[in-house]
Amino acid sequence: MTAASTVLSIVLTNLFMEAFSQGLNTAGVAISLLMPLALGAPMMFYLTLRHEQLRHANRQLELLATIDGLTDCFNRRAFTNLVSRHLERRVAPGTEGGALLIVDADEFKSVNDRFGHLHGDEALRLIANAIRMSVRINDVVGRMGGEEFGIYLVGADLSRADEVAERIRRTVSQLQFAPDATPCPLSVSIGGAAFSRRQGFSELYRLADQRLYEAKNTGRDRVALMQAA
């Protein structure tokens, strides 16, 4: 842009000075060189700044489209897409594919009813942090909606999934949650399915959700897992 401005400025200055029968001289060349620098440099700075601002805005929009604003986990759509893409890859024979856990806060409606939704949101953030502390950095955590979370454990077999699920359950049960100075124990029920062959997300979610209902119906604050066929 600056080079083009320089050429244009020289041409215009030459035409201007020739109009007064002076021709192109040293002063004209100096003016032609200084003019685009004076005009072009600020313009380049402005365009660069605007480009960075737009890039930052696009990054923010991408985050808003994939991250749950309350818990900083992936939202349901982003979680589903990420896990679905991973499940579409063919699992090599003899290797463990992974596991899907569904975590649901027990009797969460009573928390909102007793203490209000602001404290309920605080409880969800505490649970989300407990989940993230209990998994590896390459595992995927998403908020599926309400008080339900999904966890995809990359490469985990059934034994590993059970270990992680129990750690999450135990960590949540040890949380100190006391809205308005009133102790309020938190607990979660966890259902899950591990797989070693290629699986679709819908089927894996259905199996994990079945185990979640089993955990709920047999007393809550417990884990129920299965190995997908």
Place of tokens 């930052």: 56
Can you read off the two tokens belonging to residue 129? 């942090």
Beta sheet of 223-227, edge-to-edge order? 140-145, 148-154, 98-105, 188-195, 223-227
97-136 burial: b if 16+ Cβ within 10 Å, else e: bbbbbbbbbbebeebeeebeeebbebbbebbbbbbbebbe
Q: Where are the alpha helices (DSSP H) in the chain?
A: 2-19, 26-66, 76-88, 108-115, 117-134, 158-173, 201-217
Q: Which of 96, 147, 163, 214 is catalytic?
A: 147
Annotation marks residue 147 as catalytic: yes
What is the rounded distance in angstroms from the CA atom of residue 73 to the CA atom of residue 131? Answer: 10
- Amino acid at position 20, single letter: F
Alpha-carbon distance of 139 to 71, in angstroms, equals: 16
Q: Are 127 and 164 in contact (CB under 8 A)?
A: no
User: What are the Cα distances from residue 39, in Å, to 5, 6, 8, 71?
Assistant: 9, 10, 12, 48
Contacts of 165 by beta carbon, 8 Å cutoff, 6+ apart: 101, 190, 192, 223, 225
Write out the catalytic residue numbers: 147
